[in-house]
Amino acid sequence: MLTRRGARTLAGVLAATLVLVAGAVPVLAATPALGATIESHVTFNPNGPNYGWFVASGPAVGAGTLCASGTFVDTGIKFAGFQSPRGVVQLQVYKTFTCDTGGTFDVKMQIQANFDTGYETFAWVITGGTGAEAGLRGAGTGSTVPTETGNINTYTGLVD
């Protein structure tokens, strides 16, 4: 039989255990970030925003976190700096990706572009989404190679 002191001690231990378990549940329920590669084929448009199509691959696609394909359009561009001796410019480019399944996700790219060669490197982050992609988060790095009509961007990173 428990004494009053023992009962209070037991109640305190149970309460502390419940607090610890309740605090751990969100951590246990969190979805781990999964690897993804997005390859986008950009068409330069002299009369409007650049546009194109994309395919995605990696564990995030296999798990259904990220859609496998769709289209995109550039929604904004900002010039952020220029290094004249090297021909390098800093750009911020904003894109909206529309999945073949219907949802969208928005990406901000911080680009270091070499206008002499056409090659670029960039960092990217997902800034929002709609539909099945409404809660999508992700970030990574990438590179760009020129083509005759635009370029091909390869994004590599983690999404959840």
Q: Under a CB-based contact definition with an 8 Å cutoff, are residues 34 and 58 in contact?
A: yes
Q: Tens-digit pLDDT profile for the chain (160 aa)?
A: 444 444 344 344 334 333 333 443 344 446 799 999 999 999 999 999 999 999 999 999 999 999 999 999 999 999 888 766 777 899 999 999 999 999 999 999 999 998 888 899 999 999 999 999 999 999 999 999 999 999 999 999 999 9
Contact 72, 45 (CB under 8 A): no
Instruction: Tell me the C-alpha distance between 74 and 72, whole Å.
Output: 7
pTM reported for the whole predicted model: 0.79
Strands 88-99 and 138-146 come out as: unpaired
Residue holding tokens 């696609």?
A: 61
Please tell me the class of the 34-159 domain.
mainly beta
Under DSSP, is residue 109 helix (H, G, I), strand (E, B) or coil? strand
